[in-house]
Structure 1
Amino acid sequence: MNTVAPAPTPTTRALTWCLHLLVIGLLTLAAGRAVAGDPPHPGGTVAAAALCASVYATGPLVRRHRRPRRVAALWLAAVGVMWLVLLALSPEAVWVAFPLYFLQLHLLPRRAALVGLGEVVDGGLPCLLHMARLDDATLPDALERLCATTSARHRLTARFRLTGAPAPLPAAHEVALLRIAQSALANTVRHAEATTADVTLGYHGDHVALGVADDGRGFDPEGLPAPDPTTGGFGLVAMRARAQAAGGTLAVDSAADHGTTLTARLPLTPSSETRPEARP
């Protein structure tokens, strides 16, 4: 079978440059708004955007490698991880999901590209939609709605519980917690074979905790294989990156046939440091 890539045409060259300009432009936009606005971590946002752009800029080196397809998958995985870190720091980075979608279709084998597309659709688009919903709803409301939607669409009973008095959170923290809950429930639906899942949001003085517990088959957290860019295995890695980018932690407690409990803890930011738009 001939594995030589077809020579690029003027049209494909133009599309490629448009894609490059779109990625760099969106990353610049996220960094610029971090500098111009008042986000919780402006320096971290700018650094993450710059690092993501730097990793992306190494893309042309992929074709020179002796195994370009595998290296392309690893490069795309690195870009994706950096994007998720940036997304945890700045919701503005959600728009980068669209050029990443085209990159996956172009670089990965068809089956892996479809898996990657599912990750982008599950990751970028719901984040964008829920960011808009958070403008007119509290984080507890959004989590409760997420549980209701999950129960309606899947053979899983998802229940929400709130403990403690809700406190103001930066917008980036709210988006991070919502995305962690989405990813955890998505993993439960796909892999756990569970019948129920309990989502708990608790405010505990100096920190907020999000817990997602299911009664599924469980797994050995220490025995998980390394993330594979061709199968979309970045769920726990992405969730942990989100928590750590927000200054928090993510813990997983699971065992075979004993279900899984995932707990994310983020520090509570004093209300004086919270942007006005962080709350509806």
Structure 2
Amino acid sequence: MTRPTETEQDPDTAWLARVMHIAFFLLLGASLARFLLRHPWEDRSPWIVALSGALASLYLLGPVVGTRAAPRRIAWLSTVVAVWILLVVLAPSFAWCAVPLFYTGLRTLPARAALGLVTLLTAFVVFAQVQLAHGGWDPNLIVAPPAVAAIATGVFVYSDRQAARQRALIDDLIRTRRELAAIERREGTLAERQRLSMEIHDTLAQGLSSQQMLLQAADRTWDGDPDTARRHVRTAESIAERNLAEARRFVHDLAPADLAEGGGLEEALRGLAARESTAFRVDGSAVPLPERVQSALLRIAQGALANIREHAGADSAALTLTYLDDQVVLDIADDGRGFDPVDRPGGVRGHGLPAMRVRAQQLGGTLTVESTPGEGTVLSAAIPLPSTPTHPRPPSVPPAHPPSNPPFQES
């Protein structure tokens, strides 16, 4: 078991070390005082005083040589034990200084070496107690020192193992926290990539696709109908201008350009419908919507109209924004060629519809698609209003099937 270095000690270990140091010097001082009181100055007294001073000085060097079982630490401990043994042989009163030495040996040496040192120290304590009894027999003289040594060793080993388990647990917690932080960073990166991919698909990619179609149309009609060709070019120029605004928004991470111009979601949808020659209507009493909801609904409308323009072959389409008591619903209907949801589960076509569904789900809402081949398509996005719980999710309003003519008059 690897024990922490002096600078790595936890507060409890450092506190225990200070207690043991204080106890050692108290026992050493008490033992010297007892000897001097019981034995007035004798021939061995100078040796006892000198060895006591030497033992105190050596013990003070303990923190300097560290706590690991390095060669200098073992040499220091061996010297301390040798000086203590000399003291015990000359004056048995110093025997109980062995208790702090138990702790020092157990903390410094490997398990087997530490147990050997504890056994040696205990033997000398028994020897000292017998000497102090002056030949009188007392079972406690034989039993008490090993019992004290066993208790001290058991407490230390238990505490050391508990500290090791605690350090392992803390290391595991730190490692787990770092792994969770790394996972969160990766998930954040993936989420941001997904967000940017949806933003680019719903704005720049669709705008570039529209420009391509308009420029191709202008090229086909340039010789026969220059006015129509120029009109296509001007429309492509307008789309390019809006794409430039969107690109700048990406750099500054602002709201959608239509929303940033002011007027809120209704004005943004009305402007989008006008550019796409699409009918637009608002039902219900308008309520303030969070910016995230406005942005999501506008992006869904842009994506749906782009799909209609590129894939549906529709003669007309319509947007309806409906405010209900507990949700806001956006319906996009077209009279195009439609498709079979059974053949295309969930109505998934390309990247656009999955991106719209993700936008709705991120706000606790739903996206439903109803379509029949030859009868058009209705897409409905329902987002719960902030003042109402988002679970369970409220059902969306069933959309009406689109007629052959534009189903709504533009407001």
TM-score by length of 2: 0.35
Pick the structure with more helix per residue. Answer: 2
Pick the structure with more strand per residue. Answer: 1
Higher relative contact order (CA 8 A, sep 6+): 1
